[in-house]
Structure formats: structure tokens, C-alpha cells
Chain A
Amino acid sequence: QKEVEQNSGPLSVPEGAIASLNCTYSDRGSQSFFWYRQYSGKSPELIMSIYSNGDKEDGRFTAQLNKASQYVSLLIRDSQPSDSATYLCAVNRNNDMRFGAGTRLTVKP
């Protein structure tokens, strides 16, 4: 059974701090991993993708993947109030991408 697990939060950090979001998955055959951001009432918006073990950086965002531990994380540096949203971890195998329930992040000014 394909499961993607995230802490639901809420996670609250002060402006300028690092926010750390975590995700585990159960399907060892998963091939690609994504972080989406979802504002209330809106559709998911892709912010990061990662396919290989290690770190991938894009601006203030760093995704980390450890396939042996079945673990994906997202770090947001210099967090801004506009980063306040629900962050969805998504895991893809073949043509079937599944989402975690999301972690709600609040960045306080």
C-alpha cells in the first residue's frame, strides 16, 4: 500500500528562521519526489522536485532525499510570512503520484 506520511503541524517559525518539513513514504519502488505548496482554497503549486539521493537547492529551498530511509525533507531558509501555507509531500511511481496530508506552516512576522 502506498502511503506518504507527514506531520500535520501546525509548524510555527519566526520570520527569518529555517523551517524544516519532513516526509516518509512506504513504497520502496517510488521514483520521484516532490514538494508542493498549497494556499487555502487554491491548487497545489510545485516548488521542488528531487529524484536522486542527496540535497537539491533552489533559492531559499533545499530538498533532501534518503531512499534507504524512505525519507524526504524540505528546508526553507529565511522564512517569510508569504511562505505561510500547507506544504504537501508527493511521491510518484510510474504514473501514480500520491500526496501526504500536508504540514501547515505559519511564519510569524
Chain B
Amino acid sequence: EPEVTQTPSHQVTQMGQEVILRCVPISNHLYFYWYRQILGQKVEFLVSFYNNEISEKSEIFDDQFSVERPDGSNFTLKIRSTKLEDSAMYFCASRTGTGAWQGGYTFGSGTRLTVV
């Protein structure tokens, strides 16, 4: 069964450093997403991406965050200057279809980001 692949599974970084989280969505999927989940809290929407541009973003997704699809297969989330409160599990997801009725999202296994 096709999978969404995320790397690394765990990243530790110093406060103020830049991090890039990587995802390989399912190959025929058109929509890509980043979510985060702070330990013990809900899964929070960050951003959606379609046709090489951001289609929706949440209030969490401020100027410190950016996304990119650099080569047609990878989908990355960059955090420019990490803060302690960025420590969370970050999930990438993807789906196919052009409407809200085209099925749920497939999630990757996540990257646990720890900012120290």
C-alpha cells in the first residue's frame, strides 16, 4: 500500500536554528499538508499546498514557516528560527482528488522535533 514517508523520524535542534522536515507524498496525490501535534494536545493544521502554491494556512503558520516542493517528489517544511514551543510531532499528509469529497488524507509517520 502506498505510503507517505517522512524523514527524519526524530530531530533535535538548538533554539534559533533552522530545521527542514522532509516528506515524500504518495506519487499520484495532488494535495499536500503539514500538521503538528504538541505532546498531549490536538492535531493542528498548519498549511495546505496545491499546484505549487499554498492554498490554505492557519494562524500558526507565520513568517517563521515555509513550505516547498523542490523537485516534484519531496515536500518540505522549513522553520527558520526554532523556538522551544515548536517542539512537537510534525505530520505530513497527502490526498488525491480535486474536491472535498475525494477521501481522507493519508498521514506519514511523523517527525518528532525537539528544540533545546
Contact = CB atoms under 8 A, between A and B. Distances in A.
Interface residues of B, number: 25
Contacts of B110: 42-43
Contacts of B25: none
A32 B105 CA distance: 12
Interface string B22-63: 000000000101010000011111001010000110100000
Interface residues of A, number: 25
Interface stretch (A14-22, A44-52, A68-76): A44-52
A99 B42 contact: yes
Interface string A39-68: 000111110010100000000000000000
Contact of A96 (B45, B91, B109): B45
Interface string A70-90: 000000000000000000101
A11 interface: no
A32 B102 CA distance: 9
A44 B45 contact: no
A88 B43 contact: yes
Interface of B: 31, 33, 35, 41-45, 48, 50, 55-56, 58, 91, 99-101, 103-110
14 contacts: A31-B100, A32-B100, A34-B104, A43-B91, A43-B108, A44-B43, A46-B106, A88-B42, A92-B100, A94-B55, A95-B55, A96-B48, A96-B56, A99-B44
Given A31-B100, A49-B103, 8 more contacts: A36-B104, A43-B108, A46-B105, A49-B104, A51-B101, A90-B104, A94-B56, A97-B105
